[in-house]
Structure 1
Amino acid sequence: MFKYIILAIFCIHTFCGTAQSRKERKQLFNSNTNYEIQMQGVGQDGTKVFKIWTFGKKPDEAIMQAKLLAIRACLFRGLPGSAETNATPAICETGAETTHADFFESFFTVGGNYLNYVNITTDGIPSGQDRLKVKGGYKIGLKIQVLYDNLRKAMEKEGIAKRLDSIF
């Protein structure tokens, strides 16, 4: 009898643990931090060019997610360095996303103002190595150019980011 109780507890624990890990993976898959960036270089007139890898159930969804996450990376995470470029710190200070939640909620809506600062340099839906079928959707690598200086000026104008000349 004792063996059956132990077996039942083990089975319930295993089943619940598996369900929880699936839920956590799904949340990570859809999160705003689930992306990778490879710097390509600094573009002309205050732009940053990089490849961003994102996930989506369909390629079109992954492309829209890439645009949004490219701006989020510039604002809240910063951009990594490469052989040709230095690392770029985040435009906004830590906690700015929660402090200015109303602004960012409207800024990042579907078709929101964040799109004014994104130029896609990849034409169409990526193929080959830039379009990978993964469990639950696609992983897309998209070459994007962000109008970084314009984005910084807009955040300074809104009072979200400190002006660079105020540091000195």
Structure 2
Amino acid sequence: MNQKMINLSIVFVFIFSLSMSAQTKKQKKMAGYLITNYEVECMGTGMDGTQLVKIWGFGNKPEKAVYQAKKNAVHAIMFKGILGGKPGCMQRPLINDPAATEKHSDYFDLFFEDGGRYLQFVSETGDGTMDRIKVSKKEYKVGIVVSIRHSALRTELETAGIINKLGNGF
């Protein structure tokens, strides 16, 4: 009887941990983009419809954290908006539809893949400053200032049919 209870407990713990692991993996992946809690702040606006933002990214190497930060910057412009920092950046996100990631998952999978199209809309500024924090043995947090081609990104999303063209949404 005692052995039966021990075996039953082990099976229960195994099933519970398996289901928790599946839920965690399901929540982290969203249309080709790894969901993270990133920080972003406006640093000003540039010429030709660009915005300067300071963005943070995580990675097991500083170089990977920089790529994640660039991904986070484009993601913030598209889905989150830029609320903190200096005035001048567009506060509202380009995409207002909360279901857009599911509706256009094929597009976002390709757009946010490593080396994907998102890199056409973000570039590091020339000042060369990078904040690097070692969070743990295997993780770095890196903050960089990037320039986002906001107008070009809007045009890309309009052409892809993800957002309405300016003037058509009213």
Residues in 1 aligned to 2:150 and 2:57: alpha-carbon distance in whole angstroms: 20
Report the CA distance between 1:122 and its aligned residue.
5.0
* Runs of 5+ unmatched residues, structure 1: 1-12
Report the CA distance between 1:88 and its aligned residue.
1.9
Question: Which structure carries more helix by proportion?
Answer: 1
Flag as ranges the 4+ runs of structure 1 deviating above 3 A. Answer: 122-125
Of the candidates 157, 160, 163, which is equivalent to residue 159 of structure 2? 157
State the partner residue of 1:76: 79
Q: Is the 8 A contact 2:56 2:69 kept in 1?
A: yes
- Residue 52 and residue 83 in structure 1: after superposition, are their counterparts in 2 closer, same or farther (change >3 A)? closer
Residues in 1 aligned to 2:89 and 2:66: alpha-carbon distance in whole angstroms: 26
Report the CA distance between 1:83 and its aligned residue.
3.9
Deviations 1:33-81 (A, max 9, x none): 3210121011111011010011111100100101111111111111114
| 2:67 matches 1:64 | yes
TM-score normalised by L of structure 1: 0.75
Q: How many aligned positions are there?
A: 148
Q: Secondary structure at the match of 2:123?
A: strand
Q: Give the aligned CA root-mean-square deviation in angstroms.
A: 2.9
For 1:149, the aligned partner's letter is: S
Q: Is the 8 A contact 1:70 1:146 kept in 2?
A: yes
What aligned pairs does 1:126-141 form with structure 2 within 5 A after superposition? 126=130, 130-135=131-136, 136-141=138-143
Report the CA distance between 1:104 and its aligned residue.
0.7
- Residue 50 and residue 125 in structure 1: after superposition, are their counterparts in 2 closer, same or farther (change >3 A)? closer
State the partner residue of 2:146: 144
TM-score normalised by L of structure 2: 0.74
* Runs of 5+ unmatched residues, structure 2: 1-12
The percent identity for this pair of structures is 38
For 2:92, the aligned partner's letter is: P
Of the candidates 108, 118, 122, which is equivalent to residue 118 of structure 1? 122
